[in-house]
Structure 1
Amino acid sequence: MACRISELVLDAADPERLAVFWSEVLGYVELGREDDGSIEIGPPDAGFGGAQPTLILSPSTAPRAGKLPLHIDVNPTDRDQDAELERLLALGARPVDIGQTGAENWHVLSDPEGNEFCLLHRRLEPLAP
C-alpha cells in the first residue's frame, strides 16, 4: 500500500489573497475556512480526497527565510503555454529570474506573496469531472 498527496499547506501573510489567486490559477473553489484563518481550496466537483490535492492557505506572520524548499509546477490544460503565461501574469503572477539561460521550455513565476512556481510547456488534458 502507498500514500498519496491529499493536501498542500502553504503559509501565507494574506490567505484570502492567495486563495483567490490560486483558485483562479487552478480552477479551484473555496472548500472551507478554519477558525485560525486557514482557507482550503480544491477542485469544485471532488473537494478533499479527489484526484488532485487541495491547497490550504494558512495564516502566518513568520518571515520566510529564503527560497521555499518545494515549489509547484503547473501545466496549461485548455490553451498553449504562451496564452497561459499571459493569463497568469494578468492574475498577478510575476516572472522570476533564478538564473535561467533562456533556453528552458518553462517559465519561473511567483504568486502575489513571492512563492515560486513554474509554468511548464506540456499541455495536459483536464481531469474529467
Structure 2
Amino acid sequence: MATRLVQITMKARDDSALGRFWAQALGWGVDSEGPGVTNLEPVGFVCPDPVAVCVDIVAGPEPKTVKNRVHLDLATTSTARQTELVARLKDLGATLADVGQGDVPWTVMSDPEGSEFCLLTPR
C-alpha cells in the first residue's frame, strides 16, 4: 500500500497572518487556530479525504534566511488566469521573486513572509 501525502507544514513568524494569506490565496478556510498553529483546509473537507492535502502553519521565531528547499506550485487554467492570479496575490501581500529561474512560463512569487511559490501555466 502506498503512503499518501495528507499535510504540508510551514513555519511562519505570524502563523495567523500567513494562514489568512494562504486561505485567501487558495480559496480555502481556516479550520482551526490555536496557540502557534493555524490549520487550513479546502472548503468542504471531511477527514479522511481520499485526495486533499491540508496545510498547517506553525509559529517559529526565526526569520527566513535562504531560498526554500521545498515550495508550493499552484496550477492555473490559462495564461490569462495566471496574470489575474498574480495581480490578486500581489493585492494579498505576495511579491514577484527572482530565484534565478530565468525565462520560464511560470511565475515565481514570495508569500508575505518571503517563502517562494510558483504559479504554473497549464501543461
Partner in structure 1 of residue 102 of structure 2: 101
User: Does structure 1 retain, via aligned residues, the 8 Å contact 2:13–2:63?
Assistant: no
Structure (1/2) with the larger strand percentage: 2
TM-score (norm 2): 0.88
Confirm or deny: 8 A CA contact 1:31 1:47 kept in the other structure: no
Q: Note closer, same or farther for the CA distance 1:39–1:116 as it changes in structure 2 (3 Å cut).
A: same
The sequence identity of aligned pairs, in percent, is 32
Residue 70 of structure 1: CA displacement?
Answer: 0.3
The letter for the 2-side match of 1:20 is R
Higher mean C-alpha deviation, range 47-56 or range 3-12: 47-56
**Residues 18/106 of structure 1: CA separation in 2 closer, same or farther (3 Å cut):** same
Provide the secondary structure at the position in 1 that maps to 2:22.
helix
Give a deviation string over 1:47-74, Cα, whole Å, max 9, x none.
Answer: 5432221110101002434122100000
Aligned residue-pair number: 121
C-alpha contact (below 8 Å) 1:12/1:60 kept by paired residues: yes
User: 5+ unaligned residues in a row in structure 2: which ranges?
Assistant: none
CA distance in 2, matches of 1:96, 1:64: 14
Matched, 1:2 2:2: yes
- CA contact 1:42–1:48 (8 Å) conserved in 2: no
SS in 2 for 1:22: helix
CA contact (8 A) 2:73 2:119 kept: yes
RMSD: 1.9
For 1:70 and 1:90, the matched residues in 2 are separated by 24
Please give the TM-score of this superposition, normalised by the length of structure 1. Answer: 0.84
Question: Which whole-Å deviations, capped at 9, do the CAs of 1:38-94 have from their partners, x for residues lacking one?
Answer: 010111101543222111010100243412210000012596211121111111110
Q: Deviations over 1:12-50 (max 9, x none)?
A: 10001111100011111011123x420101111015432
2:121 maps to: 121
Are 1:87 and 2:88 counterparts? yes
Give the residue type in structure 2 aligned to 1:44.
Answer: V
